[in-house]
Chain A
């Protein structure tokens, strides 16, 4: 089961996923994000995984595919709020080193909109945030 909600924040599409991300549900993530990016004419993508309890390689494939699509169009992508089990899989795959990781959707939106306006990129790093934003 996977539920997806989305909102546009000033060229950034925020997609909040709830449920499991696996072979069964990955096609839905792919289809909804691809359609919404076009419909909303969004440049950037922030995927909120705070309500996702399970992620495997099928989900990783869908996430990496969206990263490639968004990057190819010149946009940025971030992942927000990933829980520890999900973060383990993101880290093992190396995805957390190429996609910006944020502790929360708010932090991610703030950082992505700063970069969008051409200000100096600043890594999201807040107290208690053990997400792997910086290179290991």
Chain B
């Protein structure tokens, strides 16, 4: 769930948000992940973690492009929020929904030929928490949560450290 805008933020923590609505087209994937990564660069993520975040966002938006609107058209709404050291990215559509979320989240489950069904597996690996909610005929919401300044699974990030050899994103 995205947080209520009306709620006052914790005065001790910086907060910020980004709302981005795009037509659900694969041509918008690069824009979506680059925009979220640029926003997230306001937190002490490592370059590697920002790369992981790009993959997770790309997977979630790709799912919308591939599955949400079988008749074509439709939009994807991306809301990224920073609260303290926590980044939350919500990827939402108003498409056909997922009947069986547990099945859809299984690695190697795919409804499209020549694909790997690894989308949710990569989101899970590259985020601290992935939440999926969906109603058939109403749409789907994926929430990615990622904490900055700590080690994540598979990462070798040093807290509050940026790779000095990498250009800023």
Q: Which residues on A are within 8 Å of B, measured CB to CB? A: 1, 20, 22-24, 30, 54-58, 60-62, 64-65, 84-85, 88-89, 92-93
CA distance A24 to B22 in the complex (A): 15
A65 / chain B contacts, CB cutoff of 8 Å: 114
**Interface stretch (choices B13-21, B58-66, B97-105, B140-148):** B58-66
CA distance A89 to B114 in the complex (A): 18
Q: How large is the interface on B (under 10, 10 to 19, 20 to 34, 35 or more residues)?
A: 20 to 34
> Does B11 touch A at the CB level, under 8 Å?
no
Identify A57's interface contact among B30, B48, B118, CB under 8 A. Answer: B118
B117 / chain A contacts, CB cutoff of 8 Å: 57
Q: Contacts A20-B30, A22-B26, A89-B55 given: A57-B154 contact, CB under 8 Å?
A: no
CA distance A134 to B28 in the complex (A): 37
A54 / chain B contacts, CB cutoff of 8 Å: 30, 33, 51, 54-55, 58
CA distance A89 to B122 in the complex (A): 8
Q: Is the CB of B58 within 8 A of A56?
A: yes
Q: Contacts A56-B59, A57-B59 given: A85-B122 contact, CB under 8 Å?
A: no
Q: Is the CB of B116 within 8 A of A64?
A: yes
Q: What is the minimal beta-carbon distance from B59 to any residue of chain A, in angstroms?
A: 6
B116 / chain A contacts, CB cutoff of 8 Å: 57, 60-61, 64, 93
B82 / chain A contacts, CB cutoff of 8 Å: none
Identify B62's interface contact among A1, A22, A84, CB under 8 A. Answer: A22
CA distance A54 to B126 in the complex (A): 14
Q: Is the CB of A57 within 8 A of B115?
A: yes
> Does B29 touch A at the CB level, under 8 Å?
yes
A55 to chain B: closest residue by CB: B55
Identify 22 residue pairs between A and B in the complex whose beta-carbon atoms are under 8 Å apart, listed by A's number.
A1-B30, A22-B29, A22-B62, A23-B58, A23-B65, A23-B66, A24-B29, A54-B30, A56-B55, A57-B115, A57-B117, A57-B118, A57-B121, A57-B122, A58-B62, A58-B115, A61-B116, A89-B55, A92-B121, A92-B154, A93-B118, A93-B122
